[in-house]
Structure 1
């Protein structure tokens, strides 16, 4: 190989390396703070209006780096938060569906970096068993993104098939690091088992165990735990005292004391108001 070709190859290699490093730099210095900013907002309307600018930036970067794990994780987190806000802003169903589809796209890619989740059979079980604690962030945000999409599908066959993947992945997360994201995997199983009959492996006893664990691990600071507890278990068991106590705890919680959960906690407070106003036990 001539010196000129060697030089050209060296320049090309360095260019690719520098572009890759630049993407990582932007992810660390721009995208992560932007997503964190969305999650720490208390003005839900502002998130609905302002988040698209961040999302367009992430979309553009993923066009150039479609398999970048850091970007995919940030994109999944950002779209999950945005979809949650849209539900409170009175957005048209079509807009919510469009964004949940994008959430699934990125979350699915993120999961693919760790497991071939669309196989759903023995191979999936084997790959999950081979995952370790370092894989938990990708497993969690990937499966949480799928769950965000599932919740908008009205029980379609495709969504129920994906729910099996989410259940298996969340179970593996519990085994690897049950404390991740303030015990959010326990919160998933608490809500899931509360709506699943005992003869199918669910029921109130299992639900309460996981909901109590979620409350313990979150130190009562992640208010969606209380809202889920009230909406599912308390109503299922007709426990009005528990129901009202949990929701009043949510409404009295000072949002600023847990800034890392600000957006989700503000959404939780709005949901708590609705649940109390329904007069479910009247």
Structure 2
């Protein structure tokens, strides 16, 4: 065999090996994604919050590593968004609002990637988890940055997404759309559409609904 043929064979083998490795990494990421999807609710339902506080960062890091191998994995993107937002809400808002803001922004970015361009006008029921966590992260970010005009300016963008969630799946995540609409109407100043009565009504629906 000539040296050129040997080089070509070597190159072909290297490419094949790389493709196989990428495929194996992606397969492993998807298998692990399913495990995390089933296990994440158990983490957040732990009665020992200190355990959750200590355990969750490693899980978040693992999910980010897996996304490097499978960046279009919608389920993993949504779980990562939920993880960052949940951790910020439970452990960072009171002690470190600046860091909580970073976690919320990161969570929103992952959820936005999971939406793959879907908007309030085009979202389908399969987009509900990503749409919900995108707006949960965004609403939470606005709530702890109400002293910043640029954060308050984002409020109107929430409403069409939340109304769409209410249409597609009002019971998702314990009537989450109603809870977010309650937060939305309570955060907005009255002169810009805020309505305490509407907020209370939506919070009641969230508590009493079937979700």
**What's the TM-score bracket when you normalise by the shorter of the two chains?**
0.7 to 0.9
Shift of 1:57: 1.9
The match for 2:109 is: 108
Question: Contact 1:38 / 1:78 at 8 angstroms: preserved in 2?
Answer: no
Asked if residue 25 in structure 1 is aligned to residue 5 in structure 2, the reply is: no
Shift of 1:87: 4.9
The match for 1:49 is: 54
Question: Contact 1:47 / 1:85 at 8 angstroms: preserved in 2?
Answer: no
- 5+ unaligned residues in a row in structure 2: which ranges? none
What are the within-5 Å matches in structure 2 for residues 39-188 of structure 1? 39-87=44-92, 91=95, 93=96, 96-114=97-115, 127-188=119-180
Between the two structures, name the one with larger relative contact order (CA 8 Å, sep ≥ 6): 1
In structure 2, relative to structure 1, the CA distance for the partners of 1:9 and 1:54 (3 Å cut) is closer
Distance across 2 between alignment mates of 1:148 and 1:194: 13
CA RMSD of aligned residues (A): 3.0
Distance across 2 between alignment mates of 1:197 and 1:102: 25
Name the SS of the counterpart of 1:181 in structure 2: helix
Name the SS of the counterpart of 2:120 in structure 1: helix
Name the SS of the counterpart of 2:25 in structure 1: helix
The match for 1:120 is: none
Could you list the per-position Cα deviations for residues 174-230 of structure 1 after superposition, in whole angstroms to 9, with x for gaps in the alignment? 1211111121111111233245455543424422332232122257xxxxxxxxxxx
Distance across 2 between alignment mates of 1:199 and 1:162: 16
Name the SS of the counterpart of 1:128 in structure 2: coil
Distance across 1 between alignment mates of 2:135 and 2:107: 11
Question: Contact 2:92 / 2:99 at 8 angstroms: preserved in 1?
Answer: no
Could you list the per-position Cα deviations for residues 150-180 of structure 1 after superposition, in whole angstroms to 9, with x for gaps in the alignment? 2222331332233333332112111211111
